[in-house]
Chains A and B, each alone.
Chain A
Amino acid sequence: MATQTVEEMAAGLFHDVAIPTIHIGMATCGLAAGARSIEELVVKELEKRGIDARIVPTGCIGMCHNEPLVDITMPGKYRVSYRNVKALIIPQIFDAHFVKGEFAKKYAVCQIPIAGHTAYEGLPLMAETGFFKGQVKIVSSRCGLIDPSSIDDYIATNGYKALRKMLTEMTPEIVIDEMTKSGLRGRGGGGFYTGLKWKLTRQSPGEEKYVVCNADEGDPGAFMDRSILEGDPHSVLEGMLAAAYAIGNAKKGYIYCRAEYPLAIKRLRKAIDDARERNFLGDNILGTDFSFDITIKEGAGAYVCGEETALLASLMGERGMPWPKPPFPAQKGVWGKPTVINNVETLGNVGHIILSGGDWYASYGSEKTKGTKTFALTGSIKNSGLIEVPAGTPLRSIVFDIGGGMLEKKIPFKAAQLGGPSGGCIPVTGLDTPVDFENVIAAGAIMGSGGIVIMDEASCIVDTAKFFLKFTQDESCGECTPCRVGSKIMLEILTRITEGKGQEGDLDELIRLSMYVKSNSLCGLGAAAPNPVLSTIRYFREEFEAHIRDKHCPGTVCANLIKYVVIEEDCTTCGLCEPVCPTGSVTWDKGEVAHINLETCIRCKACVDACKFRAII
């Protein structure tokens, strides 16, 4: 049985709807871009024109660079998606749909097909646009399409069908078999086989077991789990239900969600309440003897709690410090009982796998990493947002096809940072790396939870390494010495280098310390902390040496190592740079090339930003 196509899924949402529907992207990214005021304007405009339409908030469809997004679906027609919607263009869009019976070509980005409805001419389908072409949406398939606070929308798009199928047709062993067949591996970055984890927990003796969802997404530059929680919260609940059924004797589950995600927590609360009301959660679910309920635990701000044993400690009201494994959570987890702990994205995939089969899921992806993976694509890239691609998709295609290439055409690609503070940088020469667990590790980074930050030539590699190490150093819980002290000394060396006080031998010392911290730390946080340093030294040794020997920062980021100069050939003598300088260090006369006085220059970069011709570097 194949999973639903986008068309079929969308059709479920418009069953019996005879009036126009206006979808507005209201995930955190949409709200930050001003979706709330757009909604008010849409309501006003509808009232003014006397139009009866329903307004439906949705999660994130992934095109964060195009927010705020507004979709209009006229009865019987495909759903038209508008990007960067501002107050002024709303009347134009409304004129097109409600007066002329067409769409506003100038602002439309694509149309989303709905089975049984008809298409507009001259507007690409969603799957044909550059951003969506290489994507395969499984776990994020509902995000942006449905109203995440409506359980009916979830049910209309095959929601809770997997639960029903599981309870009526499948034994727990068969559920585990399907998960094993699917080859699904932990999407939080650990990469442990989900089927095996469930099997081990099932085999652990115990009358009382627990299911924990790790929603403590802490990597800076990563928001995959937030998008799923905000866009399709029920899919995570359904995944937890499957885990509970599979391991047996589990009556209670916890979702440990970081407090920085207030909207995700709100959506989860609503989803849990609604699921209880329909008896998808609670006692005797759907009339069977299977009972399970879920509680949300809010994190309190500690990155290390993303590590599973630290998370469990925090869940039990302790300081969130990791414990040495074994015992593994599958043996001794919450309150000392066998516990399955899975990440949000992993659980979000489960319903799809149960419904369409492990073999179907395994038909996507690469040899050792099956299925799809979501990534948060950010940094100096044109199309930043949330994407989902088959594992093994080359990095080049993610950056230049889906991502649309560099944000500023003139500044070329320098590196992609994968895996956040535990990951590393992949340079131009690694662009053909297939992005899956094994190949990314071979390239010196990790796939991690899915953060990809693109850096251009105007960024500094040493500064980036320092940034990540400062993060892990701040977040080190202090329990073991290699991580607590080692990362501090490494940070001191890196800081020295970026301040122009680097010494010969610093790089060797960094590598030596890195190896020590890596092999002697207690948990994953410390063991991975040196990765950003090691991978950048491996690929960008020259840039480190430029900082140390020449006291020069090629990316013009490290303030102490910048000497701004005006390139005479490129200067158009326009004078834009002169008035923006706060210290009066830029001198310019009409028709003359500008000059910068380095003695008084404070390296604020104002002149560089003001220059439209990139004549100041």
Chain B
Amino acid sequence: MAHSDSAAIVQITDEEIDHICEEFGNREGAVVQILQTIQEKYGYVPAEILERVGDDLGIPHSKMFGVLTFYSQFYREPRGKFILKVCVGTACHVRGAGLLVDKIKENLNVEEGENTEDMLFTLEPVSCLGSCALAPMAMVNGNTYGKLSGDKMVEILRQIKDESSAEPVSEATPAS
């Protein structure tokens, strides 16, 4: 399973990090994109990697930490294989997104922002996914689901679990 423990991260060599930084010309202005690239590859940005990027770009560790923690998209801890982005924006809120989140919490035994014990899911309420006409909605690894109810959501989670246990290495493909 991808990004399931920090053991996987140890395999990232300093050379790989240097290589990513070089791809962006070691420019200070590209720090957000460099961190995005690292996170895309490894699922999160571990502290030691953050420091290495800082060293490569000549940015103090304090500033690197400041940038990383400013943006809600960056993670300092490993996350689940499937990220459940549940929209709690205005339109979804009006149509009962709160109940949807409660249902997921109950079904997966997980709190907001946390991973499930098996590291399969991470629950992440987000402000607005921009498909308000289909409220309440959610996005799982880039796939969008609209007009959800608690029961519909539970069914989707069950399907993902089933498919995931059938073919453990497959990643869900983002919507295109």
A residues neighboring B (CB under 8 Å): 28-29, 31-33, 36, 64-65, 67, 217-223, 226, 259-263, 266, 297-303, 314-321, 335, 376, 378-380, 384-385, 417, 420, 451, 453, 455, 459, 467-468, 471, 477, 605
Distance A321 CA – B145 CA, assembled complex (angstroms): 33
Are B127 and A223 in touch, CB under 8 angstroms? no
Nearest Cβ on chain B to A604's Cβ, whole angstroms:
8
What chain A residues lie within 8 Å of B128 (beta carbons)? 218-223, 260
Q: Which of A33, A219, A220, A318 contacts B67 (CB 8 A)?
A: A318
What chain B residues lie within 8 Å of A218 (beta carbons)? 127-128
Distance A417 CA – B142 CA, assembled complex (angstroms): 29
Are A316 and B29 in touch, CB under 8 angstroms? yes
What chain A residues lie within 8 Å of B176 (beta carbons)? 263, 266
What chain A residues lie within 8 Å of B30 (beta carbons)? 317
Distance A36 CA – B143 CA, assembled complex (angstroms): 10
Are A220 and B89 in touch, CB under 8 angstroms? yes
What chain A residues lie within 8 Å of B137 (beta carbons)? 32
Which of A32, A223, A298, A318 neighbours the largest number of chain B CB atoms within 10 Å of its CB? A32
Any A CB within 8 A of the CB of B158? no
What chain B residues lie within 8 Å of A378 (beta carbons)? 90-91, 132-133, 135
Q: Which of B99, B127, B144 contacts A32 (CB 8 A)?
A: B144
Are A317 and B146 in touch, CB under 8 angstroms? no
Distance A220 CA – B74 CA, assembled complex (angstroms): 20
What chain B residues lie within 8 Å of A314 (beta carbons)? 32
Distance A259 CA – B40 CA, assembled complex (angstroms): 12
Q: Which of A263, A320, A468 contacts B71 (CB 8 A)?
A: A320
What chain B residues lie within 8 Å of A417 (beta carbons)? 90
What chain B residues lie within 8 Å of A376 (beta carbons)? 132
Are B73 and A64 in touch, CB under 8 angstroms? no
How would residues 114 to 128 of chain B score, 1 for a CB under 8 Å from any chain A CB and 0 otherwise? Answer: 000000000000111
Distance A328 CA – B137 CA, assembled complex (angstroms): 38
Are B72 and A302 in touch, CB under 8 angstroms? yes
Chain B stretch 109-161: residues in CB contact (< 8 A) with chain A: 126-135, 137, 142-147
What chain A residues lie within 8 Å of B32 (beta carbons)? 297, 300, 314, 317
Nearest Cβ on chain A to B95's Cβ, whole angstroms:
8
Distance A98 CA – B50 CA, assembled complex (angstroms): 60
Are B94 and A223 in touch, CB under 8 angstroms? no
Q: Which of B35, B74, B129, B147 contacts A33 (CB 8 A)?
A: B147
Distance A316 CA – B90 CA, assembled complex (angstroms): 31
Distance A401 CA – B162 CA, assembled complex (angstroms): 46
Are B36 and A300 in touch, CB under 8 angstroms? yes
Across the A-B interface, the 9 shortest Cβ-Cβ residue pairs: A64-B133, A220-B89, A300-B71, A221-B90, A32-B146, A301-B73, A223-B130, A32-B144, A301-B72
What chain B residues lie within 8 Å of A315 (beta carbons)? 29
Given contacts A317-B32, A318-B67, list 5 more A-B pairs with CB under 8 A. Answer: A33-B134, A65-B133, A221-B128, A335-B29, A420-B90
Number of contacting residues on B, CB 8 A?
44
What chain B residues lie within 8 Å of A467 (beta carbons)? 90, 93
Distance A259 CA – B66 CA, assembled complex (angstroms): 20
Are A379 and B90 in touch, CB under 8 angstroms? yes
Nearest Cβ on chain A to B141's Cβ, whole angstroms:
10
Are B70 and A297 in touch, CB under 8 angstroms? no
Nearest Cβ on chain B to A455's Cβ, whole angstroms:
7
Are A455 and B94 in touch, CB under 8 angstroms? yes
Are B94 and A29 in touch, CB under 8 angstroms? no
Given A29-B131, A67-B133, A378-B132, are A220 and B90 neighbors across the interface (CB < 8 Å)? Answer: yes
Given A67-B133, A420-B90, are A31 and B175 neighbors across the interface (CB < 8 Å)? Answer: yes
Q: What are some 22 contacts across the A-B interface (CB < 8 A)?
A: A28-B175, A29-B134, A32-B134, A32-B145, A64-B132, A64-B133, A65-B133, A67-B146, A223-B131, A223-B132, A260-B130, A297-B32, A298-B33, A299-B71, A301-B73, A301-B74, A314-B32, A317-B30, A321-B70, A378-B90, A378-B133, A455-B94
What chain B residues lie within 8 Å of A321 (beta carbons)? 70
Considering only CB atoms, which chain A residue lies closest to B67 in the complex? A319
What chain A residues lie within 8 Å of B33 (beta carbons)? 297-298
Are A262 and B89 in touch, CB under 8 angstroms? no
What chain B residues lie within 8 Å of A298 (beta carbons)? 33, 36
Are A36 and B175 in touch, CB under 8 angstroms? yes
Distance A453 CA – B97 CA, assembled complex (angstroms): 15
Chain B stretch 52-74: residues in CB contact (< 8 A) with chain A: 66-67, 70-74
What chain A residues lie within 8 Å of B127 (beta carbons)? 218, 220, 303, 471
Distance A298 CA – B91 CA, assembled complex (angstroms): 25
Which of A318, A451, A468 neighbours the largest number of chain B CB atoms within 10 Å of its CB? A318
How would residues 67 to 85 of chain B score, 1 for a CB under 8 Å from any chain A CB and 0 otherwise? Answer: 1001111100000000001
How would residues 21 to 54 of chain B score, 1 for a CB under 8 Å from any chain A CB and 0 otherwise? Answer: 0000001111111011000000000000000000
Q: Which of B66, B99, B132, B144 contacts A31 (CB 8 A)?
A: B144
Q: Which of A33, A217, A335 contacts B130 (CB 8 A)?
A: A217
Are A64 and B134 in touch, CB under 8 angstroms? yes
Q: Which of B66, B70, B73, B94 contacts A459 (CB 8 A)?
A: B94
What chain B residues lie within 8 Å of A384 (beta carbons)? 91, 132-133
Nearest Cβ on chain B to A555's Cβ, whole angstroms:
11
Distance A242 CA – B130 CA, assembled complex (angstroms): 28
Nearest Cβ on chain B to A238's Cβ, whole angstroms:
23
What chain B residues lie within 8 Å of A260 (beta carbons)? 85, 126, 128-130
Which of B91, B126, B147, B174 neighbours the largest number of chain A CB atoms within 10 Å of its CB? B91
What chain A residues lie within 8 Å of B142 (beta carbons)? 262
Are B71 and A28 in touch, CB under 8 angstroms? no
